[in-house]
Amino acid sequence: MTEYLSIAPEVSVALAAGQPVVALESTIIAQGMPWPDNAETAMAVADAVRDAGATPATVAVIDGRLRVGLEAREIEMLARGGSQIRKCSRRDLPLAVAAGAHGATTVAATMIVANLAGIKVFATGGIGGVHRGAQQSMDVSADLQELARTSVAVVCAGAKAILDLRLTLEYLETYGVPVIGYGTDVLPAFYVRDSGLGLDAHFDTPAEVAAVLQAKWSLGLAGGVVIANPVPEAYALDPDWIEQLTAQALSEAAADGIGGNDATPYLLRRVAELSNGKSLRSNVELVLNNARLGAAVASALSGLEPCG
């Protein structure tokens, strides 16, 4: 793998010493937020991980290499590149590597690269899932299959509110992916703390979460775990209002023929516009919240016996 994988010295030292490391994705930089909010958020999230006692490892494809840990100038390059940067999920990684291209990694691709590097905890905003109308479109995020196969825990504010959350939970259940709430019994819906959908389990400490991860992987049960962490209450948005904005954004996307890889970035951007930036602020705060929890879980996990 050394032909394709580069781990930053800071991350490599931490991994070799058994210290906590938290993977971070890069689509949130290139496609998830506008400039300069994207660069500022990426740096703030890395700082939040450090402040919480772990080493941040932002993942991306740079010049055709799978990179684990980015420099500030590389984060800025991805942020300024925006939608011109290739969005990389599982299917796209070999294409970007072979082309020597830059790529921003989705949840799925970040899980793959984190696993190759030996990182067990990953913090992000929200996972992808089953899109509304998937019965006709078959639009289901590759994130869900990656959670079924790749042994990395994902700390998130649930699934993105633009999705069909009930079907997303059903899909994860079918493929044996535990979805556990941190301080909650219900699935958060990104900007919203309570989707009304119950979860498999509820834990209140990082140590309890780490014990679940150790048990799962020590039993030889491959695959990820979703750690659902609600957006801080001060930054949560009204569910009915967000649903109205989401419905409008979905209608506009359909009218404009926007789908596939372009759908999620378009919907997040349009909801941010319709909410006068309130959803963007909520997005930033929930990512920071997840970064802090990711660091705490990684720290608790590093204190346990190694698992598979």
Contact indicator for 226, 127 with CB cutoff of 8 Å = yes
What is the structure's pLDDT at 15? 98
Provide the pLDDT for residue 257.
Answer: 84
Question: What's the rounded Cα separation, in Å, for the pair 90 and 290?
Answer: 23
Cβ atoms of 304 and 211 within 8 Å: the answer is: yes
pTM beyond cutoff 0.75: yes
Give the pLDDT band of residue 25 (cuts 50, 70, 90). Answer: very high
Is the Cβ–Cβ distance between 87 and 76 less than 8 Å? no
Q: Residues 159-174: pLDDT tens digits?
A: 977 789 999 999 999 9
Convert the pLDDT of each residue in 267-300 to its tens digit. 878 888 999 989 999 999 999 999 999 999 999 9
Examine the pLDDT at 86 and tell me if it is beyond 60. yes
Determine, yes or no, domain membership for 224. yes
Q: What is the total count of domains within the chain? A: 1
Helices (H), 52-88: 72-81
Residue 133 · residue 167 · CB < 8 Å: no
Does residue 32 lie within any of the structural domains? yes
> What CATH number is attached to the domain comprising 124?
3.40.1790.10
Pairwise CA distance, residues 286 & 126, whole Å: 9
* Token code pair at residue 47: 């700082």
308 within a domain of the structure (yes/no): no
Helices 278-302, 206-218: axis angle to 10 degrees equals 60
Distance CA(124)–CA(29), nearest Å, equals: 11
Does the structure show a pLDDT above 80 at 214? yes
Asked if residue 307 belongs to a domain, the reply is no
Where in the sequence numbering do the catalytic residues fall? 25, 160
How many H helices and E strands in the chain? 13, 11
pLDDT at position 145: 96
Beta-carbon contacts of residue 188 (< 8 Å; ≥ 6 apart): 157, 158, 181, 194, 195, 228, 229, 230, 231
Answer yes or no: is 15 within a domain.
Answer: yes
Interhelix angle 37-51/278-302, nearest 10 degrees = 30
Interval 193-209: pLDDT, tens? 999 999 989 999 999 99
Domain boundaries, position 27? 5-302
**pLDDT at position 308, please?**
58
Interatomic CA distance for residues 195 and 187, integer angstroms: 6
183 inside domain: yes
